[in-house]
Amino acid sequence: MKLALKGAILAFVCATFAVQAQEKVIRVGVLMPISGPGSYFGVMGKEGIDLALEQLKGGVNGYHLQVQYEDSACSPLQATNAVKRVLDQFRPHIVIGEECSDASLAIAPILEQAKVPQLNAGSVTMKLTESGYRYVFRIFPNAAQQSLPLAKVAYDRLGARTAVILYEKTNAGNDNADGFEKPFVAMGGKVLAKIDFGRDVNDFTAIATRIASLGRVDVLPTFALEGQQVRLAQALAQAKVVRGGGGNAVQMGSIWLPYGFDQKAGQAAEGYVRIVQFDPNEKRRIVQDFIRAFRAKYGADKVPTHINSHAYDTILLIAEAVRRGATDSESIRERFSGFKGVEVTTGRISFDPKGQNSDLSVVHFVETQKDLSWKGLDW
Amino acid sequence: MVALGLTLIYGVLNQINFAHADFVTVGAFTAFFTATRFATKVLGLPDTGAYLLSMFAALGAGALLGLAVNAAVFAPLRDRGDELRPLIATIGVSVLLENAQLALFGPIPYQFDSPFARETLRIGRIFFSAQSVLVVAVSAAAIAALYGFMRFTFLGKALRAVAQDRETAGLMGINPNLLIALTIVIASALAGMAGALLGPVLVLSPFAGASVIVKAFAIVIIGGFGNMQGTILAGILVGVIEAFTVQYLGSGLIDLVVFAMLLLMLVLRPTGLIAERKEENV
Amino acid sequence: MSARRIYFVVSILVLAALPWLIATPYWRGILVLCAMNVLLALSLNLVIGYTGQLNLGQSAFFGIGAYVSTILVKSYGWNFWLAAVAAVGAAGLLGLALAAFAVRLRGHYLAIASLGFAVITYQVLVNWENVTQGVRGIYGIMPPFSHPAALFYLVAGIAVLVYVLIDNLVRSPVGDSLRAIREDEVSAASLGINRALWKAFAFCVGAAIAGLAGCFYPGFVGTLVPDAFNIVESFTMMAMVIVGGMGTMIGPVLGAIVLTFLPELLRGFGELRLMIYGIALTLVVLFMPGGMVQAWMALRARLR
């Protein structure tokens, strides 16, 4: 009898625990641009996050990941409103976002004050991890990590001595352009011109004509989004500046360009050398599993972009922190700080004391071939 | 061409349409889907034929849109005779159209290739894509057709009469409402076709139109509101100025230079490059 | 008159209670934003509603106020209040510059001139990098008061003050002159009204108030980038004035409140948010051409 009672109590206790275990959640606020031109990022980011959540439906360490999206529209004002709202109403343990540098910088002090970690996957501006924030973590290579390898490869591997830097007039474009210019000039290269343009520019004929008049240009590091890059590459090919148009110059690009750009730009993209954050040709198992799952969910003809994959990675990293025993904001922050070589689809993640991922395995060099496929370069 | 549609609406209606940019985008998307999904796959047309067909589809889509917006917004507001409210209403329409397209097509830019976009013509070091030559040629044809229509047909004369004095024209047996509707439809159809022509030149996303509209306004003003010849001249002028700005000052300064010129124009010759005889500006 | 007093006292009490009724940081933030928008709508209404000048460039003055005050505080170490005075002055002067166009141009010509003016101001903010930091933006800007309720009281207090001042202004002979210009410029001139002077006056005061609103924006967001003063912002301000009721005092205030809260309340709709906003804006203009104020009066008349 006593035994039966004990058993009943034990069973009851277990059941209560089980219920509690089921109710344990890690709340993840996601700030993405869902309206306006920035929704380019938001739509793809959401695809990646939704896929990761689906795979983690069973929970991690007894915890469920619960996500709430807010539209931060790529703008500081909208992002501050959205982050305050999500903090008030959802009380997240961690916030993912934003993609745009301006918006990421605007929410950083607010999250710092609320002691909620910010996991950033898509901003390049140096300031984000150089301002002394304790709660900022970034898996995206910052401007220096993107531009320095580009400058080195341009000078050493491609033997380039002259460059024209093309960049969109934004925080990110500026930082990337500076990040290329300084080391390239220090090595002995010469920057013939720095040409910037607003995000609303469509017609690059005038710019291409000007570059054609500058004499011999070896490399054209270009920092802009996909849509403008397509037009720019085509204009440069028409001006016979780049290899794709029969010229000599090699166009170089940063992580901003997703897989699929080459098909859109067509022959103009041939010979384009760039770094990517996510290379779907990589043989690592996690990459191939991710691509398979992505196709199963979103369509057999789709190839995930780096935006899909780095958003997917943010959820994997949070799950990893939970697996290592994180239960709230503070412990997530601590687990993140201890990350060394955590494998995700973009590469391996190790956070330095500033919160920046310091593992450059996430930077992959590729060259666009004649058939517009990528050739991975082992640089 | 975008500017031409605007100037037509303004000339007859005294009305600015902020949704005009989105008509261009709708036209571009219509053309894109007609050319890539319908004409080549369903009808099995060759590329050039498909593209030409898509231009007419875009024209039709623009016209339909113009009809709808006229019926829903302009017509009900016209009789109240003030200029501000329709203007705000068109802002509302513009927000609606832009976001409806965002929901339908997504924000990721499409690659719209016309058979002309990858051909290049060269004169010395200067080069044009065949597409831009096509844009100029079709625009010129449209302008000529429009000009002929306005000058020589009864409807065109009636339109000009309405533009000059709506009430008197009404007394003379012209139905101004019908004609105004016609104007909006023509202008919107032009915008739709402009979309088809510019689709392969622009970054085709739901925000494509917004990137050309402000400049179109500048061209309209520099050319003189409602003045077609002036608009054409101003379009060429702005193009040349842009090229020189990129060459000598820096590409970031284009808007600054163009709009500084706009303000200068407004002070020196508020009626535009080719002055109209009608003295309206106090 | 006493009914007006009562309304006034009640609204002051409501204002005082608001930050405590909805005390979360998010809604308090929206309240501050709302007060800022009320100021902007009031400033634009003076130009459009009372003087009849089609001005699409109000975002320029808002931006000038924000940048001048922030740069003086951050780069030159000025006191915030002194910087605010300078910023208001700068915006006012720029208003005079736009007024120079307004004296010569009318209707849509002025609309586009003011639009061009706003584009140029925006481009200067983007390109004059030595001073404005361009697109890199200015970060870590502190508000004059760090407590959100205090910031709300400050901005709302100023909005009330401006409301009372404009209210008195438009009911004075000055208001008559402005309205005369709105109704018919030629007959206004024949009545001996100096059009150029009063237009300049309206533009200058309107710009100064927008500049004043601009002083509080950077501290509130903490970040200052030129994109915040895109011409689209001018359209939003215009929409506030029209939706509320142009040429009335309370209309723009209501319009600002509705158009600040509406997009936030629609956040639950995700991607449909801006579509609904666009439809709502169009419908309001179609079915309430005189704005909310006129619709309300018509409703009251029918109920009687």
The ranges assigned to domains in chain A are: 23-141+284-362, 144-276
Distance (Å, rounded) from C-alpha A346 to C-alpha A96?
A: 17
The answer to whether residue C243 sits within a structural domain is no
Q: Is C278 within 8 Å of B259 when comparing Cβ atoms?
A: no
Q: What pLDDT shows up at residue B276? A: 47
Specify the 3-state DSSP secondary structure of B238: helix
Q: How far is A340 from chain C (nearest CA, A)?
A: 31
Question: Among the three residues B208, B224, B258, which one is the final residue of a domain in this structure?
Answer: B208
Q: Does A214 touch chain B (CB under 8 A)?
A: no
Q: Does B238 touch chain A (CB under 8 A)?
A: no
Q: What pLDDT shows up at residue B282? A: 33
Which residues in chain C are closer than 8 Å to A89, comparing Cβ atoms?
24, 26
Question: Among the three residues B208, B240, B260, which one is the final residue of a domain in this structure?
Answer: B208
Q: Is B83 within 8 Å of C280 when comparing Cβ atoms?
A: no
Q: What pLDDT shows up at residue A19? A: 46
Measured between CA atoms, the residue of chain C closest to residue B103 is C271
Q: Has residue B123 got a pLDDT over 90?
A: no
Q: Is C105 within 8 Å of B214 when comparing Cβ atoms?
A: no
The answer to whether residue C283 sits within a structural domain is no
Answer yes or no: are the C-beta atoms of C83 and C68 closer than 8 Å. Answer: yes
Q: Has residue C204 got a pLDDT over 80?
A: yes
Q: Is B126 within 8 Å of A35 when comparing Cβ atoms?
A: no
Q: What pLDDT shows up at residue C18? A: 86
Touching chains, B (3+ CB pairs < 8 A): A, C
Q: Is C273 within 8 Å of A81 when comparing Cβ atoms?
A: no
Per-position b or e across B167-194, b if 16+ CB within 10 A of its CB? eebeeeebebbebbbbbbbbbbbbbbbb
Give the B window 114-133 contacts with A, CB below 8 Å: 117-118, 120, 125-129, 132
Same domain assignment for residues B204 and B215: no
Which of C134, C139, C222 has the CB atom closest to A80's CB atom?
Answer: C222
Same domain assignment for residues B198 and B255: no
A29-33, A296-300, B229-233, C49-53: segment of lowest average pLDDT = B229-233
DSSP state of A245: G
Same domain assignment for residues B225 and B150: no
Which residues in chain C are closer than 8 Å to B98, comparing Cβ atoms?
274, 278
Q: How confident is the model at residue C35 (pLDDT cuts 50, 70, 90)?
A: very high
Q: What pLDDT shows up at residue B277? A: 42
Q: What pLDDT shows up at residue B273? A: 60
Q: What pLDDT shows up at residue C174? A: 86
Task: Give the predicted TM-score (pTM) of the model.
Answer: 0.87
Answer yes or no: are the C-beta atoms of B30 and B102 closer than 8 Å. Answer: no
The answer to whether residue C244 sits within a structural domain is no
Which of C108, C117, C286 has the CB atom closest to B77's CB atom?
Answer: C286
Any alpha helices (H) in C128-272, and if so which ranges? Answer: 129-132, 148-170, 173-183, 185-190, 195-221, 231-244, 250-265
Same domain assignment for residues B94 and B228: no
Q: Has residue B278 got a pLDDT over 90?
A: no
Average pLDDT estimate for B167-177: 70
Q: What pLDDT shows up at residue A16? A: 47
Q: Does A7 touch chain B (CB under 8 A)?
A: no
SS3 helix, strand, coil % of chain B, rounded to 5?
75, 5, 25
Which carries the bigger pLDDT value, residue C139 or residue A16? C139
Specify the 3-state DSSP secondary structure of A192: strand
Mean of the per-residue pLDDT values of chain B: 76
Same domain assignment for residues B243 and B181: no
Q: What pLDDT shows up at residue C137? A: 87
Fold of A144-276: Rossmann fold (3.40.50)
Question: Among the three residues B151, B183, B208, which one is the final residue of a domain in this structure?
Answer: B208
Average pLDDT estimate for B158-180: 72
Answer yes or no: are the C-beta atoms of B208 and B252 closer than 8 Å. Answer: no
Q: Is C223 within 8 Å of A85 when comparing Cβ atoms?
A: no
Which of A35, A85, A102 has the CB atom closest to C225's CB atom?
Answer: A102
Domain count across chain C: 1
| Rg of the Cα atoms in chain C | 19
Please count the other Cβ atoms lying within 10 Å of the Cβ belonging to residue C283: 13
The total number of residues shown for chain B amounts to 282
Measured between CA atoms, the residue of chain A closest to residue B117 is A234
Q: Is A209 within 8 Å of B129 when comparing Cβ atoms?
A: no
> What six digits make up the tokens of A231?
């037009």
Interface test with A, best of B201, B246, B254 (most A CBs within 10 A): B246
Q: Has residue B144 got a pLDDT over 80?
A: no
Nearest residue to B282 via CA among C199, C119, C234, C56: C199
Q: Has residue C56 got a pLDDT over 50?
A: yes
Q: Which amino acid is at B44?
A: G
Same domain assignment for residues B173 and B102: yes
Same domain assignment for residues B93 and B35: yes
Same domain assignment for residues B249 and B171: no
Q: Is A81 within 8 Å of C140 when comparing Cβ atoms?
A: no
Q: Which domain holds residue B65?
A: 2-208
Distance (Å, rounded) from C-alpha A188 to C-alpha C284?
A: 63
Distance (Å, rounded) from C-alpha C207 to C-alpha C205?
A: 5
Which carries the bigger pLDDT value, residue A326 or residue B17? A326
Which residues in chain A are closer than 8 Å to C134, comparing Cβ atoms?
169, 174
Distance (Å, rounded) from C-alpha B184 to C-alpha A7?
A: 82
Measured between CA atoms, the residue of chain C closest to residue A83 is C26
Q: Does A169 touch chain B (CB under 8 A)?
A: yes
The answer to whether residue C174 sits within a structural domain is yes
Q: Does B105 touch chain A (CB under 8 A)?
A: no
Same domain assignment for residues B113 and B189: yes
Same domain assignment for residues B88 and B176: yes
**Each residue's pLDDT expressed in tens, for chain A with a length of 379 residues:** 445 555 555 555 444 444 444 568 999 999 999 888 888 899 999 999 999 999 998 889 999 999 999 998 888 999 999 999 999 999 999 999 889 888 999 999 999 999 999 999 889 888 899 989 999 999 999 888 999 999 999 999 888 999 999 999 888 899 999 999 999 999 999 999 999 988 878 778 888 888 888 888 999 999 998 888 988 988 888 888 888 777 888 999 888 888 888 888 888 888 889 888 888 888 899 999 999 999 999 988 888 999 999 999 999 999 999 999 999 999 999 999 999 999 999 999 999 999 999 988 888 888 888 888 888 777 6
Q: What pLDDT shows up at residue B210? A: 74
Touching chains, C (3+ CB pairs < 8 A): A, B
Backbone angles phi, psi at B212, to 5 degrees: -100, -15
Measured between CA atoms, the residue of chain C closest to residue A104 is C223
Average pLDDT estimate for C88-102: 91
Q: Is B266 within 8 Å of C274 when comparing Cβ atoms?
A: no
Q: How far is B42 from chain C (nearest CA, A)?
A: 32
Measured between CA atoms, the residue of chain B closest to residue A239 is B127
Q: How far is B86 from chain A (nearest CA, A)?
A: 24
Tell me the CA distances in angstroms from B108 to A170, A225, A298, B111, one per residue in order: 19, 11, 15, 10
The answer to whether residue C265 sits within a structural domain is no
Q: Is C113 within 8 Å of B73 when comparing Cβ atoms?
A: no
Q: Is B270 within 8 Å of C104 when comparing Cβ atoms?
A: yes
Average pLDDT estimate for B78-96: 77
Which of B84, B100, B259 has the CB atom closest to C116's CB atom?
Answer: B259
Nearest residue to B253 via CA among A172, A202, C233, A195: A195
Share of chain B above pLDDT 90, in %: 1
Q: Is B270 within 8 Å of C186 when comparing Cβ atoms?
A: no
- Interface ipTM: 0.87
Same domain assignment for residues B279 and B139: no
Q: Does B148 touch chain C (CB under 8 A)?
A: no
Q: Does C268 touch chain A (CB under 8 A)?
A: no
Q: What pLDDT shows up at residue B48? A: 78
Same domain assignment for residues B18 and B151: yes
Q: What pLDDT shows up at residue A295? A: 95
Q: What pLDDT shows up at residue A164? A: 94
Q: Is C112 within 8 Å of B262 when comparing Cβ atoms?
A: yes
- In this chain, the answer to whether the domains covering A23-141+284-362 and A144-276 adopt an identical fold is yes
Domain count across chain B: 2
Which of B118, B211, B252 has the CB atom closest to A202's CB atom?
Answer: B211
* Superfamily for the A23-141+284-362 domain: Response regulator (3.40.50.2300)
For residue range C102-132, what is the model confidence (pLDDT) as tens digits? Answer: 787 777 778 878 888 898 999 999 988 888 8
Q: What pLDDT shows up at residue B281? A: 39
Nearest residue to C66 via CA among C253, C240, C227, C263: C227
- Longest Cα–Cα distance of chain B, Å, equals 59
Average pLDDT estimate for C221-234: 88
Average pLDDT estimate for B196-207: 82
Containing H/E element for B107?
Answer: none
Q: What pLDDT shows up at residue C300? A: 85
Q: How many CB pairs under 8 A join A and C?
A: 73
Q: What pLDDT shows up at residue B203? A: 79
State how far Cα A282 lies from the chain centre: 17
Q: Which domain holds residue C86?
A: 2-230
